[in-house]
Amino acid sequence: MLVGTLYLIPEQRTHIDVPALRGTLAGLGAALKKRELWIVGLFLYYFSPGLSTPLYYTMTDSLKFPQSYIGILGSIASAGWVIGALLYRRFFGAFSTKGLLNLGIALGTATTAAYLLLFDEASAAILSFCSGFSVMLATVATVTLAADYCPRRSEGFSFAVMMSLINLASASGDIVGSFLFEHLFHKGLAPLILVSAAFTAFAFVPVPLLRLGDKRQGQPVDAVAV
């Protein structure tokens, strides 16, 4: 990527704009100092012991799902993501920021706990769709909130950090969940589901720290009295 960027992308040379550079650095500094962004980052780092790998082995070894059907379940979860994104503006755009955050956490907790009802291919399909839908809703809510609090000239940096937190949470959560599934719960999925749902529900705790009041989605933070 580095070599390609240097030699394959045509770019018109220009002089360094020192005032603009200083403004960008000031924006980055402001982003790092902003308490609300750190709390939003905590939301995006929604760490909980993951179910992904334990679910795969449960579906394969215990429920005897064909590998092709497990792949279809991934597509169904992706469909839930797409539907969640399409319905977000129409049905959830009028929610306050605080209300949407709480709704996203509640749906995430409920869909995680609902995996206790997993017993056949039909239930797996329904749970996969609902999981994808709730994850999309929670992601849109938190990323929108991050954009509302992001200082000028640090938008790209802040977005990259938030996406990195999501990737880190997903990877580390799956590792911890797999360890618990194998060594603590002795390949029992139900205790892991309960622990994961409890960790998701704990995300309710930092919501009051944001002091959102009745702030609407996309409303400039400076316009909100806190």
Please state the rounded mean pLDDT for residues 144-173: 77
> What is the pLDDT averaged over residues 125-143?
89
Q: Domain for residue 9, yes or no?
A: no
What is this structure's pTM? 0.79
Does the residue 24 lie in any domain? no
What confidence tier does 125 reach under pLDDT thresholds 50, 70, 90? very high
What confidence tens digit (pLDDT) does each residue in 92-108 have? 888 888 888 889 889 98
- Whether residue 5 lies inside any domain: the answer is no
> At 186, phi and psi to the nearest 5?
50, 50
pLDDT at 119: 93
Token pair 């702030």: residue: 215
Tokens representing 4?
A: 């390609």
In which domain, by residue range, is 71 found? 34-223
pLDDT over 70 for what percent of the chain? 84
Answer yes or no: is 10 within a domain.
no
Residue 160 lies in a domain: yes
The vertex-13 CA angle with 20 and 28, nearest 5°, equals: 25
- Whether the per-residue pLDDT at 127 is higher than 90: the answer is yes
Tell me what the pLDDT averaged over the chain comes to: 83
In a domain, 58, yes or no: yes
Kindly report, residue by residue over 26-51, the tens digit of the pLDDT: 766 766 666 666 666 655 545 678 88
| pLDDT higher at 160 or 46 | 160
Residue 71 has pLDDT above 70, yes or no: yes
Residue 2 resides in a domain: no
What CATH code is carried by the domain that includes residue 105?
1.20.1250.20
In sequence order, the β-bridge partners of residue 96 are 216
When mean pLDDT is compared over 43-57, 96-110, 130-144, 174-188, the highest value belongs to 174-188
pLDDT at res. 40:
64
Q: Per the domain annotation, does 192 fall within a domain?
A: yes
Alpha carbon separation from 25 to 30, 109, 221 (Å, rounded): 9, 39, 21
Quote the tokens at residue 14.
């220009």
Direct distance between the N- and C-terminal alpha carbons of the chain, in angstroms, rounded to an integer: 45
Distance CA 133, CA 114 (A): 14
Predicted local confidence at residue 41, as pLDDT: 61
- How many structural domains are present in the chain? 1
SS (H, E, C) 25-92: HHHHHHHHHCHHHHHHHHHHCCCCCCCHHHHHHHHHHHCCCCHHHHHHHHHHHHHHHHHHHHHHHHHH
